[in-house]
Structure 1
Amino acid sequence: MESQADKLGVPRSWMRPLGTLLGAGALGLLTGFAVPVVGALAAAGLVLYFTGALWVHLRIGDYALGPWFVFLCLPAAALAVNLAYHGRA
């Protein structure tokens, strides 16, 4: 069975580091409830992560971007709410 990474041309050796970044971003969002600056940085990092994912999908001509859009909107909304509530750090 071909994995998503294989379809997108992402080397398998990148899967663990990319998964670690995604997990760290999720933990950073949770930490942001106690330390807002960490939450804002984590949300910004996840927005960059999913922007990179968009580039990879478009590079191979995969235009089924519904799931990508949902996953981008969540950290973007978290960043917007954090900055609106706490202001610029």
Structure 2
Amino acid sequence: MTAAQIALAVVLTLVFLPLGAAKIAAVPFMRQAAAHLGMSPGLYRVVGALEMAGAVGLVLGLASAPIGVAAAIGLALLMTAAAVVHLRHPDPLVRALPAAVLALTAVAYAGVEIGTG
């Protein structure tokens, strides 16, 4: 386990746990975001659950590389889909940027994990 793997896992976990929890709890900001994108609160909760599962998978990946890689790939796919949803919704590019950066960060984690494994 390298410092880069640990750092990427920690950063991604610290981003996805609270965001996923906020979506599951349907806090007002997240309800507004779901409505803006035309998503039901139930679907947004599913997205939040997937984010939290991915974050947990990254933590477990510190002990088991295949779990971490699978979680990172899942999060990368989820964030790629989020970026596409923002772009198709005609949001400005800046609204899709965080999801794209998170997708690339998750891919970087998977790449570092696979490269050192």
Shift of 1:78: 0.6
Alignment of 1:25-36 (within 5 A): 25-36=54-65
Unmatched tracts of structure 1, length 5 or more: none
Aligned to 1:76: 107
Give the TM-score normalised by structure 1: 0.87
Identity of aligned residues (%): 35
Give me the whole-angstrom Cα distance separating, in 2, the residues matched to 1:46 and 1:25. 6
Moved over 6 A (4+): none
Q: Which has the higher helix share?
A: 2
Q: Which moves more between the two structures, 44-53 or 62-71?
A: 62-71
Give the TM-score normalised by structure 2: 0.67
Give me the whole-angstrom Cα distance separating, in 1, the residues matched to 2:73 and 2:115. 14
**Is the Cα–Cα contact under 8 Å of residues 80 and 100 in structure 2 kept in the other structure?**
no
Letter in 2 for 1:14: L
Unmatched tracts of structure 2, length 5 or more: 1-27
Shift of 1:82: 0.7
**Is the Cα–Cα contact under 8 Å of residues 58 and 67 in structure 2 kept in the other structure?**
yes
Q: Which moves more between the two structures, 57-66 or 37-46?
A: 57-66
Give me the whole-angstrom Cα distance separating, in 1, the residues matched to 2:97 and 2:86. 12
